[in-house]
Amino acid sequence: MKNTANIKSRSIPLKQALWQTPALILVAGMIALGVNQWRSDGIELIGDWSVEERFVDAAGDRMIISLDQARLLFQREAALFVDARPESQYADGHIQGALTIPWQEVDRYFMKMADRLDDASMIITYCDGESCDLSHHLALFLKDMGFANVRVLVNGLTVWKEAGLPTEIGEMTP
């Protein structure tokens, strides 16, 4: 009899915990949503996370260039392509004639390439992979440095190769 009473007394806190835990989580979530709504810099709960919306500059302008546009500018020699990947990856293969300004070493490379960048009417940065954002960071940096006409070729090297467009291997010649 004593054991039965002891078991019943232990099961009551367990039952309370089973309904109180989800209730606390629900209340905490509602408070968090309320605070987020109240704050002026709250996080958007519903947003557009597409590639087009992720690659924008400080003014909100889209920075993406399509492969067809990039190809046309390449054929007309009307754009300068800049590889944002590390130099070792650049040496393994890059868009023909592209400069290398690795994002991780942008300070070191930028000063070397400034004159060549000044001569370009359009700069197209690229890296490789849909989730690679090195080219976006580099494009924003170049815009901050005063280059107005900068675009990003998303998944650049892969789409370039898949289209059969010219690539080359080796380090950049000075």
- pLDDT (tens digit, 9 = 90+) per residue, 104-144? 999 888 888 888 888 888 999 999 987 788 999 999 999 99
**How many whole angstroms separate alpha carbon 94 and alpha carbon 107?**
21
**How many whole angstroms separate alpha carbon 98 and alpha carbon 76?**
15
Beta-bridge partner residues of 62: 56
Q: In the chain, what are the domain boundaries?
A: 1-46, 51-168
Report pLDDT for 135: 93
Beta-bridge partner residues of 126: 83, 153
What stretch of H or E contains 81? strand 80-83
Model confidence pLDDT, tens digit, residues 41-73: 777 776 555 555 667 777 777 888 999 999 999
Q: How many Cα atoms within 13 Å fall on the side-chain side of residue 56?
A: 11
Model confidence pLDDT, tens digit, residues 95-105: 999 999 999 99
Report pLDDT for 13: 76
CATH number of the domain located at residue range(s) 51-168 in this protein:
3.40.250.10
